[in-house]
Amino acid sequence: MKWHNPDILLGLIALLPLLLITGLMLRRRIHLLKKMADDGLWPTMIPLLSPGRQRTKNFLRVLAFAFLIAALARPQWGFKWEEVKQHGLSIIVALDTSKSMLAQDIKPNRLQQAKWGVRDLVKELSGDRIGIVAFSGDAFLQCPATIDYAAFLMMLDDIYAGIVPIGGTDLFQALETSVESFKKSEETQSDKVIILISDGESTTGDPLALLPRLKEEGIHVFAIGVGTKEGDLIQTSEGFVKDSKGNVVKSSLDEKLLERLAFETGGFYVRSAPGDFGLERVYQQGIAQLQREDRETRMSKIWTERFQWFAGAALLILILESLIRPIKWRRHE
């Protein structure tokens, strides 16, 4: 036997004080009646009073709640084996970690918003492999494509601005590292996707030189532009970023390069906005439509739901409770 939602069973603990409180309330009622009249006079003064029946009804109500909580926890016993075929894409998130991603034109800053957006994307995935490439003036594979989403999210949390020691923004290296990572995975028939998240300010490299290779290998690039056209200053723990002449640097969104990379590889470009980072649209309108590879089949254990028994027991107890009168029946002489 197993429980699908075992945490709900903690609600059973709350029933103990409930039973105690309601029991004390009944006891206090009896105590007040004793103050009004000696219990020897009760059969004459209040002949229909039945404390025992009231306690029984109270107990049955609490017992019915206990069975309902157990039903919500979805008890399961007995199972059967079913053959399940896995399907999935291979997705690489290329995330810009340059200092310009610390600009706060999108609160709290561009990089943090990007990480939150990727977290939301993972919630949409089911069987798709996902990995991450961190880049600035260089790039490296932070997490290979995997279906272990918990491990992926841990690696995502470890990313910070400056994790790549070389400054600048090299979109060429970001895309090349992403393309190379696909060779290490096992997918052959499924479409491959690169989600490029950047403010578009490429300072080195020519990412357009990779377009023939991306097209040849059937890799779709979906680009997310992070930031605003107006831009903002770049603030770090050491103060505002300045150029070689000592002038404060202002970073603004450059969309042209991101738009072309996405358009020419069969993807599309989305500009992020407060409250709508754009990855949900990328997944629903783009990634979800792509071809997924049929991977190996596996046997899955399917447990049989038994919550109906507990819900039925709760219903029967409530019916029984409703049939018990809180007072004695009056005898007709």
pTM of the model: 0.61
CATH number of domain containing 189: 3.40.50.410
Q: Coil, strand or helix: which one is 308?
A: helix
Q: Are residues 42 and 135 in the same domain?
A: no
**Local structure of 51: helix, strand or coil:** helix
The 3-state DSSP class for residue 135 equals: strand
- Within this chain, do residues 111 and 70 fall inside the same structural domain, yes or no? no
Whole-number pLDDT of residue 269: 93
| pLDDT of the residue at 39 | 60
The contacts of residue 79 (CB under 8 Å, 6+ apart) are: 301, 302, 303, 304
Q: Is residue 296 part of a domain?
A: no
Determine the Cα–Cα distance for residues 131 and 206; give it in Å rounded to an integer.
23
pLDDT tens digits for range 207-226: 999 999 999 988 999 999 98
Number of domains in the chain: 2
User: How many distinct helices (H) and strands (E) make up the chain?
Assistant: 10, 13
State the pLDDT at residue 114: 92
Same domain, 120 and 266: yes
Of the given ranges (62-71, 105-114, 129-138, 176-185), which has the lowest mean pLDDT? 176-185
| Per-residue confidence (pLDDT) for residue 332, from 0 to 100 | 43
Q: Is residue 308 part of a domain?
A: yes
Query: Same domain for 200 and 103?
Result: yes
Q: Is 40 in the same domain as 98?
A: no
- 115 inside domain: yes
* Residues 150 and 6 occupy one common structural domain: no
Q: Phi and psi dihedrals of 91, rounded to 5?
A: -120, 130
Label residue 239 by pLDDT band (50, 70, 90).
Answer: low
pLDDT of residue 331: 47
User: What does each C-alpha distance from 93 to 20, 113, 114, 183 come to in angstroms?
Assistant: 55, 14, 10, 16
Both tokens of 72, joined, read 């919500």
pLDDT in tens, 244-295: 666 676 777 888 889 999 999 999 999 888 777 888 888 888 888 776 655 5
**Residue 153 falls within a domain, yes or no?**
yes
Within the chain, strands assigned E span 2-3, 75-88, 90-96, 129-135, 139-146, 192-198, 219-225, 232-233, 235-236, 239-240, 250-251, 269-271, 293-305
- Residues 126-152 have a mean pLDDT of 90
**Does 174 lie in the same domain as 31?**
no
Asked whether residue 84 is assigned to any structural domain, the reply reads no
- For the ranges 46-50, 113-117, 124-128, 329-333, which has the lowest average pLDDT? 329-333
In one-letter notation, the amino acid at residue 106 is I
Residue ranges making up the domain that contains 37: 2-79+303-323
Is the pLDDT confidence value at 323 over 60?
A: yes
Greater confidence (112 vs 186) lies with 112
Domain-embedded: residue 330: no
> Do 15 and 163 share a domain, yes or no?
no
The residue count of the chain comes to: 333
Rounded Cα distance between 103 and 252, Å, is 9
Instruction: Look up tokens 């910070």; give the residue.
Output: 160
